[in-house]
Amino acid sequence: MNVLDRPPVPPASSDARVPVFVPYVGVDTLKHLTDALDVGWLGMGATTKEFEDRIAAYLGLEDRYVVCTNTGTSALHIALLAAGVGPGDEVITPSFNYVADHQAIRATGAEAVMCDIRDDDLGIDVASAESLVGPRTKAIVPLHFAGIPCRIDDVHALARRHGLRVIEDACHAFGSTAGGAKIGSGGDVQFFSFDPVKVITSIDGGCVVTPHREEVERLHHLRLLGVDKDTTLRYQNKRAWDYDVVSEGFRYHLTNIMASVGVSQIKRVDEFIASRRAVCERYSAAFDGLPGVRVLRRDYADVSPFIYSLRVAADRREALIEHLAARGVDVGIHFVPVHQHTYFANARRAPMPVTERVVDEVVTLPLHSLMAERSIERVIDGVRTFFA
């Protein structure tokens, strides 16, 4: 049987474990891949540009620009550099996140300074962030946790008061809306991730979204080894043989092959998001009111959910994890706070009473695009039987 004739494999069969993450890759993605391979231009090229254009169209961008990269981490790294962040600077960001943001900040020569989060949406606590602002502060990197919009208007107000840049970590939030507009369509700078487990994937990948036209050329240089002419020609599946190197730069570009996967996925993004919202709302309806359980949201109309997390009594979390594991349901924990890691133990930080409490309570349940009904039921039954 030809690979393109195979039906998609269901995310989880009735006798399999239900994993936390299952990327949905159907025959449409395989077709895009084979078409990209047939072109014969495997590096950054016309398909990369098509993916950038489709991202811009989906987010409804006007006078804003998309620059794709090979990961979300590299997207943040070059966004920070383009914003002028460097040695001696400080960047305020929550400890409650994966360590990629903090490593990207350190890669610029700056220091990550860590603040607390809010108890309601697990987004950045602006008062905590403001307590850390000092003469070396250059930028703020807030996270939209689980795709749930943080209090971004308050973040921008803080930034205006102190003359800071805002670079939003929207890696969980491709398709989420804030104030009636998609995250990425307004404000300062955002970066997204398209890694293997995000709402859409390009196998690995990311992008920067910026309104600053003067920074786009710098982002292009930073993305591809500081070379001055390559981007325009590569978007035509060509290369420049007469070029200059005008700045520092990295091999952070997104290839045609990876972009072809992203193009196939973004064509179905509304379908993926709708299916994930429906699962999250079923979970919340089933779990809200259980003793010792706290759901983050009941209504997901403005959320493109990357993960679904519950908060449970800290002294019952490990028993819940074991209970679900015995029933073939995997769980995750988002996150181990960064200030608890050895490499960042001495970083400057604010008091973190909410972070310290949440990290002992949070548990992430399986959530997949087009998730199999039998998997949804197994998750719900597993949680309810434990708390019943």
Same domain, 380 and 277: yes
Considering only the C-alpha atoms of the chain, give the largest distance between any 2 of them, rounded to a whole number of Å.
70
Tell which of 237, 266, 295 closes a domain: 266
Say yes or no: 275 and 313 in one domain.
yes
Cα–Cα distance for residue pair 119/296, rounded to 1 Å = 10
pLDDT by residue, tens only, the chain of 388 residues: 343 444 444 444 446 899 999 999 999 999 999 999 999 999 999 999 999 999 999 999 999 999 999 999 999 999 999 999 999 999 999 999 999 999 999 999 999 999 999 999 999 999 999 999 999 999 999 999 999 999 999 999 999 999 999 999 999 999 999 999 999 999 999 999 999 999 999 999 999 999 999 999 999 999 999 999 778 889 999 988 889 999 999 999 999 999 999 999 999 999 999 999 999 999 999 999 999 999 999 999 999 999 999 999 999 999 999 999 999 999 999 999 999 999 999 999 999 999 999 999 999 999 999 999 999 999 999 999 999 8
Domain count within the chain: 2
Whether 274 and 148 map to the same domain: the answer is no
Q: Is residue 77 part of a domain?
A: yes
Residue 14 lies in a domain: no
CATH number for the domain including 297?
3.90.1150.10
Range of the domain at 35: 27-266
- Nearest-10 Cα torsion for 134, 158, 347, 91: -90
342 CB burial (10 A radius; 0-12, 13-18, 19+):
exposed
Q: Is 17 within a domain? A: no
Residue 7's CB is within 10 A of a number of other CB atoms, namely 8
Same domain, 345 and 288: yes
Say yes or no: 227 and 332 in one domain: no
* CA–CA distance, 148 with 322 (Å, rounded to integer): 28
The answer to whether residue 42 is domain-embedded is yes
Q: Are 197 and 124 members of one domain?
A: yes
Task: Please check whether residue 317 is in contact with residue 334, taking contact to mean a CB–CB distance below 8 angstroms.
Answer: no
* Whole-number pLDDT of residue 15: 62
> 209 — phi, psi (to 5°)?
-120, 125
Strand (E) or helix (H) holding 53: helix 46-59
pLDDT for residue 6? 40
In a domain, 8, yes or no: no
Last residue of a domain, one of 245, 266, 287: 266
What is the rounded distance in angstroms from the CA atom of residue 107 to the CA atom of residue 239? 29
**Is residue 249 situated within a structural domain?**
yes
Note whether 134 and 241 are same-domain residues: yes
The residue from 239, 266, 293 where one domain ends is 266
Residue given tokens 């990207």 in the structure block: 104
Inside any domain, residue 10: no
Task: Report yes or no on 18 lying in a domain.
Answer: no
Task: Reduce the DSSP state of residue 354 to 3 states and report it.
Answer: helix
349, β-bridge pairs: 114
Q: What pLDDT does residue 8 have?
A: 45
Same domain, residue pair 93 and 217: yes
The CATH number for 46's domain is 3.40.640.10
Same domain, 207 and 100: yes
